[in-house]
Amino acid sequence: MRFTTTSSVLAALGLASLAAALDAVQIVQQIAPDATSCPSPPGDCRTAAQAAPFIARSMHAFGVGCPNEMASVVALMAFESVGFKYKHNVFPGRPGQGTANMQMAKYNLLYAKAIPAVEGNVTDIASVDGLPDDRLNWILSLVTPDEYNFGSGPWFLTTQCGADVRAKLQSNVDDGFQAYMQCVGVTVTDERKAYFDRAKKAFGVV
Ligand X SMILES: *[C@@H]1O[C@H](CO)[C@@H](O)[C@H](O)[C@H]1NC(C)=O
Interacting residues with ligand X (CB under 6 A) = 120-121, 142
Which SS3 state, helix, strand or coil, does residue 88 take? Answer: strand
Is residue 121 within 8 A of residue 156, CB to CB? The reply is no
CA dihedral 157→160→165→169, nearest 10 degrees, is 0
Is residue 19 within 8 A of residue 56, CB to CB? The reply is no
Nearer to ligand X, 27 or 142 (CB): 142
Nearer to ligand X, 121 or 160 (CB): 121
- Least gap, CB of 120 to ligand X (angstroms): 4
Residue nearest to ligand X (CB): 121
Nearer to ligand X, 50 or 121 (CB): 121
- Least gap, CB of 16 to ligand X (angstroms): 36
Phi/psi for 86 (5° steps) reads: -125, 145
Residues 6 or more apart whose Cβ sits within 8 Å of residue 93: none
Nearer to ligand X, 121 or 178 (CB): 121
- Least gap, CB of 99 to ligand X (angstroms): 15
Is residue 187 within 8 A of residue 79, CB to CB? The reply is no
- Least gap, CB of 115 to ligand X (angstroms): 11
